[in-house]
Structure 1
Amino acid sequence: MAIRELAGIHHVKIPVTDLARSLRWYRQVFGLRPTVEFRDADGVVRGLAGEVPGLGPAALTLRVNPVAAEGSRGFDPVSFAVATRDDLAVWAEHLDSLEVKHSPLIEASIGWLLVFDDPDGLTLHLYTWAEHGIDQSHRPGYGTTIAEPDHWQPN
């Protein structure tokens, strides 16, 4: 069977407990501009999707789901890309101006990384496309190149 090719990412859906609070935060941090709302059968808006500068055609979606939000606390399901380490430093300054606590710039597996949490404790990553060239494969939790990707199996 032939592998089908994807056409990109359509949207990233983030579970939240408080839509208004999360909208304020994602607006301030990422410039989220809502374009679609999701009303439940009772007429209450419990979700929205919108545009984020630099995310391309992919939408960022916030959906009220307290169970999923709690279950995702401390997890990092998505890494948003930035071009360079200098761009990451600008993001750190932006987060500082909003008083959003974040990590220092981290030399991650391939590039540089900045880590912070949204209002529900979902961990978000900003990761550079630029590579640092440092071999981190000896460090626990860091990535190692897979020699034979088609035959890889978990141990």
Structure 2
Amino acid sequence: MSTFPPLSHVALTVRDLTVSAPWYRALFGSEPAIDEDTDPDLHHTVWVVGNGTLIGLHQHGTPAPPEAFSELRVGLDHVAFGVGTRAELEAWAARLDELDVPHGAIKDASYGSGLSFRDPDGLALEFFAPPAA
């Protein structure tokens, strides 16, 4: 094997699809490609974003534990969506404002710039741009 395969999909567990699915629908600006029960204890809603990456929301039949998401816990830290420039980050900040989605300021670093925000369950999300040339 000469190259590592690209990312295929990300599956996020949510507490309530009736809350999370409309939020992601507004963020992505599209309808899900899949919205189905895969077995009696799992429902998933999936969007195709960017260059074909699948972002799935899973709601399990067993309720989620009551604690809030924390990027400090072992497991997921955040999911980042790549954009081309810092100007695109500024446009996304304006779009998040339109959607009433709280977000941080754009943070610039030597490795790129990021705009952080959270979904209804507190999952950490980010738009990320490479450093300016």
The alignment's TM-score, normalised by the length of structure 2, stands at: 0.81
- Report the AA paired with residue 83 of structure 2: V
Q: Secondary structure at the match of 1:60?
A: strand
TM-superposition CA deviations, 1:89-140 (whole Å, max 9, x none): 00000001111100011113411110000000001011102x148xxxxxxx
Q: Which residue in the other structure is 1:10 paired with?
A: 8
TM-superposition CA deviations, 1:68-97 (whole Å, max 9, x none): 7956x1323321101101000000000011
2: CA distance, partners of 1:69 / 1:78: 22
Q: Which residue in the other structure is 1:150 paired with?
A: none
The alignment's TM-score, normalised by the length of structure 1, stands at: 0.70
2: CA distance, partners of 1:123 / 1:83: 20
1: CA distance, partners of 2:70 / 2:109: 18
1:50 aligns with 2:47: yes
2: CA distance, partners of 1:24 / 1:119: 10
Q: CA RMSD in A?
A: 2.4
Q: Flag the structure with larger Rg.
A: 1
Q: CA deviation at 1:7?
A: 2.9
Runs of 5+ consecutive residues of structure 2 not aligned to the other structure: 72-76
**C-alpha distance 78-109 of structure 1, shift in aligned 2 (>3 A):** farther
Does the 8 Å CA contact 1:102/1:114 hold for their aligned counterparts?
Answer: yes
Does the 8 Å CA contact 2:42/2:58 hold for their aligned counterparts?
Answer: no
Q: How does 1:72-151 map to 2 (within 5 A)?
A: 73-75=69-71, 76-129=77-130, 131-132=131-132
Runs of 5+ consecutive residues of structure 1 not aligned to the other structure: 134-155
Q: How many residues align?
A: 126
Richer in strand (by share): 2
Q: Secondary structure at the match of 1:101?
A: coil
Larger relative contact order (Cα-Cα within 8 Å, sequence gap ≥ 6) = 2
Q: Which 4+ stretches in 1 moved above 6 angstroms?
A: none
